Structure 1
C-alpha cells in the first residue's frame, strides 16, 4: 500500500483519538518552548519531549488504516 493510499484511507476510531491526543501534546510542548518568560530548564526539556512525542503519535496514528478497506493494488 502506497503512502498516499494510507493517508486517504479511513482511520480507525481509536487512532483518531490517539492522533488528537498527539496534537494536543505537541501544542502544549510548543507553548512551553515558545513561552516569552524564562522557564526552568527542565520545563523547556519537557516541552521538547512533548512536541516530539506528540508529533510521532499523531503521524503514526494518521497512517493507520482500517484493514481491508483499501481496494487499490499494491503491486
Structure 2
C-alpha cells in the first residue's frame, strides 16, 4: 500500500500527464451523458457509461506511471 502511495506522489512524465487530462475529460463527458436531464436512447446511455469508466481507468493508470531514475 505504501508503494502505491509513493508512486502516486512521484513525478509523472509529460506524455502521461496529457493522457491523464484526456482521461479526465472522457470521464466528464461520460458522466454528463449519464446525468443528462433528458431521455436518451439506451445505446447512448450505455456508451456514456463505457466512456466514463474508460476515462477513469486511463486517468488512474496515467497517475501511477512514474519515471525510473535509478537506471
TM-score (norm 1): 0.88
Alpha-carbon RMSD across the aligned residues, in angstroms, is 1.3
Unaligned runs of 5+ in 2: none
Determine the C-alpha separation between the residues in 1 that align with 2:36 and 2:45: 9
How many residues align? The count is 69
User: Which aligned pairs between 1:26-65 and structure 2 lie closer than 5 A?
Assistant: 26-65=27-66
CA distance in 2, matches of 1:55, 1:7: 15
SS of the aligned residue for 1:37 comes to: coil
Distance in 2 separating the partners of 1:34 and 1:18: 24
Stretches (4+) displaced over 2 A: none
1:17 — aligned with what?
Answer: 18
Find the counterpart in structure 2 of residue 4 from structure 1: 5
Q: Which has the higher helix share?
A: 2
